[in-house]
Amino acid sequence: MEIIIAIASKIGESLVTPIGTEFGYLVNYHSNLESLRGEIKKLFDKKDGVQGLVDAAKRNGEIIKPDVQSWLKNVNDDMVKKVLQFEDEINKKRRCVYRWSLSRRAYKIKQEVLQLQNEGRFENVAHPAPPPEIWSTFENVFKDFKSRMANMNEVIEGLTREEVRLIGICGMGGVGKTTMVKEIITRLAKLNLFDKIVMATVSQSPSIRTIQSEIAEEIGLELKEESESGRARRLHGRLMEIKRILIVLDDVWAELDFKAIGLPSGDAHKGCKVLLTSRDSDVCNRMRSQQIIAVPILTTEESHELFREMVGESFNDPDLRSTAKDVLKECGGLPIAIVTVGKALEKKNKREWDDALNQLRNSTPVNIPGVNDKVYSSIKWSYDRLESDEARLCLLLCCLFPEDYDIPIEYLVRYGWGRGYFSSCVTLEDARNRVHSLVGQLKRRFLLLDSGKSEATKMHDVVRDVAIWIASRDAHGFLIRSDAENKGWPNLATYDHYTTISLVGDLEIQDGLKCPKLELLQTMEGLFSEGSMDNICKAMKELKVLALVQMKNRGSSSSLGLLKNLRTLTLNGSKFDGMSTDVIGSLENLEILSFRDCDSMRELPREIGRLKQLRLLDTTNCRNLEVIPHGIFSNLCRLEELYMMGSFNKWEIGRGREDKGMASISEVMSLSDHLKVLAIEIPSVIHLLPKNIVLKSPTIRFGICPARRTEATYAFKECLRTTYAFENCLMIEESDARELEESQAVRLLLKKSKKLYLWEVKNFSVLTDLDQEGFQDLKESLDMSKYRVSCKWNKWVFDQPKSPSIAILWCLKIRLFIISSKKLGIAPEIKYYWMQSNGRNCVEAGEGT
């Protein structure tokens, strides 16, 4: 009997437990559903956080990990589908008889949700992407002409031979060497002959550090060494690790020292091959090229085909056929000439064609080795056909800079303004817009090229040579020396006719020099000898533009005040230990003054306040500028633009005392009735709160941020330091919006901001009335302290107002701008989950939306 009782007891226990569990599903029907909804909301919150990190990683070009992608797919597709089906089932099965099965299913789905939550804990969601292959950025402009295909196939065949280490491609400027090399690289990539292909531009004045940096960047190597030899050893070691690598050196003018750069040579690395281009076949020979391929000009048939493509329908006009043939002949088969002239003649009438042919035939360019006379005349004709003198002068200003130089467009603005090129422009902002327009026009005419840097342009080698030839004529009086330390000051009988001089390198300017007509002098990347600055000021009293870029000066200089006609003074990146800045105050006609990147500057001379004509002051990146006496800014009655990002930030809060204190924000704001551009750092937003700070101009373009240097402010400041075309940007940190509301200046800045960044700003909701009045310009906003999603919307639609806890909204034409920080792992403040309610999609929104 005891045995029977024991057996029955065990059977009872095994029956009671599942019965209890199943009965629990029925009893806990409501709690199971609510628990499921809560866990689903947590899962979707976690999914939003992960998705935000993924989006940020994608914007940074990083590769998303497969397990992260898989998890997001499981949540977005599988789980969402399962939840929607379950919600639909709940709506259909409302009778009590279904509660057990629905509760049981809710419990099981919740277990899956909990598992997904656990799996969604990622230390990081992505890893850095490898450097993009060089050929991925090439434009497809190569024409597979027979003459080019033969050369190209010869190069590719040579590179497949084990004994060949170095191949040279030579030809005249503009014949298409670089274009061919890029096509060779693209085809080699498809053939998989090399594990890595890198390319560096050498140019006429090669920089070992630049070549090292370009190659290192393409193989994902960071060179931290200061010395060139240390960098060379590190680069060499990394290149030796790559089994098969092709190094392309473009535009080589002289024999290169591979050891100094860090390139393997000889049999040191049999898998390393070098392909170089040069205008000089002797360079290829001196570098012991095992194959030298000379790129010829285009054949008649190839020129005909290319010209037809450039001029379009005009080429088929019977009245133009004979003239077109003669114009094409004058282009001499040089691709750059054919493209430039062809584009200029597109859609032109017969008279314009005849005039073009006449000018091409009558031009007589100077004989420069390697460049055909007809190349000069064809480029010059395109120059002459520019619509305005402003465009032509803008092009000539570009030839002041070294070969392959990324020419800052802002330099063209300031030089042109100083020379009086833009007489119809009332403000500097007008002139800046004009120059950007002109540069765009010159690019479309193939006289200027795109640059890899922001707000910069480049000149093709041949176009630059032609521009220098044009500018050196008596009418313009340009003198260009790109290698002054080797070529020296030109030994001429007189310098009376020169109006513009550009010199690169160390200079010794002799006493007694006279340049009575000189209006622009630019010197770059060199060292002035003792007394040179004084000699400049004595010899060039008619100067309107003086640009000393990255120069050093030996000895004292006190003669700057002699330049009474000076309108633009640029000292960017220069160091003048003995130069007396006090004399700047005597430059009574000065309109543009730039100290950008002058690390040695510690105090802004009080005498600058005497510059009544000054329109632009630039101290960007003057990192050691700590003193600006009170009263300087309030005296600059015509100042239009003030750039101070990355420099002075010790502003006084109040007006201060003119005899003692530092400059204050109220001084700067007192200029705002005529100030057009303002870029500054302030210690805190408190400096904008005093009631005497009033922003008078509603059209001012501004960039204002806290002075504190953090990761959060770095990108903001970097944008303002590297561009002069920034949009209205405002960054506010550690403040209370209730105080901001009382400031007219802050309210106007908020309303006019296109990019708004917040960091630990309390009670921002008190400024909601601004959303009714303004914020119409806002494009991007971000609460950086809470990593919140921000957006600009055109319309809010609310539904079900009776439910205070749920706001049903739909944003039309919404544009999201999300910026993340690896250190800010907080989920977006806007939290939501999708559910079905009366056939409509609903969103639950948290506070602050």
User: What are the DSSP calls for 271-306, one per residue?
Assistant: TEEEEEEES-HHHHHHTT-SEEEEPPPPPHHHHHHH
Whether 465 contacts 368, CB under 8 Å:
yes
Q: What is the spatial distance between Cα 638 and Cα 616, in angstroms, rounded to a whole number?
A: 9
Q: What is the spatial distance between Cα 650 and Cα 662, in angstroms, rounded to a whole number?
A: 7
Whether 630 contacts 657, CB under 8 Å:
yes
Q: What is the spatial distance between Cα 307 and Cα 340, in angstroms, rounded to a whole number?
A: 10
pLDDT at 485: 53
How many CB atoms within 10 Å of residue 745? 23
Tell me how many helices (H) and strands (E) the chain has: 27, 30
> Tokens standing for 236?
């060499």
- The more confidently predicted of residues 165 and 741 is 165
Q: Summarize the confidence of residues 429-434 as an average pLDDT.
A: 94
Q: What is the spatial distance between Cα 520 and Cα 514, in angstroms, rounded to a whole number?
A: 14
pLDDT at 728 over 70: yes
pLDDT at 111: 79
Whether 465 contacts 172, CB under 8 Å:
no
In which residue are the tokens 């006009």 written?
317
Q: Per this entry, what is the length of the chain?
A: 849
pLDDT at 383: 86
- The more confidently predicted of residues 297 and 619 is 619
Q: What is the spatial distance between Cα 741 and Cα 89, in angstroms, rounded to a whole number?
A: 51
Q: Summarize the confidence of residues 344-368 as an average pLDDT.
A: 69
pLDDT at 394 over 90: yes
| Model confidence pLDDT, tens digit, residues 557-577 | 677 888 899 999 999 998 865
Q: State the DSSP H helix or E strand holding residue 682, giving kind and residue range, or none if neither.
A: strand 677-682
Residue 361's contacts (CB-CB under 8 Å, 6 or more residues apart) are 330, 377
pLDDT at 17: 47
pLDDT at 28: 64
Of 176-180, 409-413, 697-701, which gets the smallest average pLDDT? Answer: 697-701
Give the mean pLDDT of the chain: 77
Q: Summarize the confidence of residues 405-416 as an average pLDDT.
A: 96
40, 103, 106, 107, 834 from 34: Cα distances, Å: 10, 10, 9, 10, 15
Q: Summarize the confidence of residues 299-320 as an average pLDDT.
A: 86
Q: Which residue type occupies 654?
A: G
Of 219-233, 434-448, 767-781, which gets the smallest average pLDDT? Answer: 767-781
Q: What is the spatial distance between Cα 404 and Cα 458, in angstroms, rounded to a whole number?
A: 7
Q: In what order do the strands lie in the sheet with 407-408?
A: 407-408, 456-458, 449-450
Task: Say if residue 805 is exposed, middle or buried (CB neighbours under 10 Å; 0-12, 13-18, 19+).
Answer: exposed
| Model confidence pLDDT, tens digit, residues 357-379 | 876 665 444 433 333 455 777 67
Whether 231 contacts 223, CB under 8 Å:
yes
What is residue 542's DSSP assignment?
T
- The more confidently predicted of residues 128 and 616 is 616
Q: If pLDDT is split at 50, 70 and 90, which confidence band does 600 have? A: confident
- The more confidently predicted of residues 67 and 204 is 67
pLDDT at 71 over 90: no
Greatest mean pLDDT among 85-94, 214-223, 478-487, 835-844: 214-223
pLDDT at 604 over 60: yes
> Tokens standing for 157?
């065949």
pLDDT at 843: 34
Whether 203 contacts 403, CB under 8 Å:
yes
Q: If pLDDT is split at 50, 70 and 90, which confidence band does 91 have? A: low
Q: If pLDDT is split at 50, 70 and 90, which confidence band does 16 have? A: very low
189, 223, 508 from 129: Cα distances, Å: 19, 19, 49
pLDDT at 468: 87
pLDDT at 542 over 50: yes
| Model confidence pLDDT, tens digit, residues 753-785 | 888 887 777 877 776 655 555 566 676 665 555
- What helix, strand, coil percent values describe the chain, rounded to 5? 45, 20, 40
pLDDT at 739: 77
Positive or negative, the CA dihedral 444, 448, 450, 454 is: negative
pLDDT at 202 over 70: yes
pLDDT at 142: 73
Say what percent of the chain tops pLDDT 70.
75
Pairing of strands 126-127, 63-64: antiparallel
Q: If pLDDT is split at 50, 70 and 90, which confidence band does 168 have? A: very high
- The more confidently predicted of residues 250 and 515 is 250
pLDDT at 9 over 60: no
70, 119, 435 from 122: Cα distances, Å: 12, 8, 50
Whole-number CA gyration radius for the chain: 35
pLDDT at 502 over 50: yes
pLDDT at 509 over 60: yes
In a 3-state reduction of DSSP, which class is residue 45?
helix
Q: Summarize the confidence of residues 699-717 as an average pLDDT.
A: 77
Task: Say if residue 538 is exposed, middle or buried (CB neighbours under 10 Å; 0-12, 13-18, 19+).
Answer: middle
Positive or negative, the CA dihedral 493, 494, 500, 506 is: positive
Q: What is the spatial distance between Cα 282 and Cα 513, in angstroms, rounded to a whole number?
A: 38
At residue 552, φ and ψ (nearest 5 deg) are -120, 145
Q: If pLDDT is split at 50, 70 and 90, which confidence band does 130 have? A: low
Whether 311 contacts 346, CB under 8 Å:
yes
Q: What is the spatial distance between Cα 61 and Cα 254, in angstroms, rounded to a whole number?
A: 37
Whether 731 contacts 704, CB under 8 Å:
yes
pLDDT at 491: 66
pLDDT at 259: 92
Residue 157's contacts (CB-CB under 8 Å, 6 or more residues apart) are none
> Tokens standing for 552?
């050093």
Strand (E) positions, 331-431?
Answer: 407-408
How many CB atoms within 10 Å of residue 417? 23
pLDDT at 134: 67
| Model confidence pLDDT, tens digit, residues 621-645 | 999 999 999 889 989 999 999 999 9
In a 3-state reduction of DSSP, which class is residue 568?
strand
pTM assigned to the model: 0.61
pLDDT at 281 over 60: yes
Whether 497 contacts 474, CB under 8 Å:
yes
Q: If pLDDT is split at 50, 70 and 90, which confidence band does 220 have? A: confident
Q: If pLDDT is split at 50, 70 and 90, which confidence band does 794 have? A: very low
Q: Summarize the confidence of residues 2-10 as an average pLDDT.
A: 54
Of 35-44, 132-141, 227-236, 403-412, which gets the smallest average pLDDT? Answer: 132-141
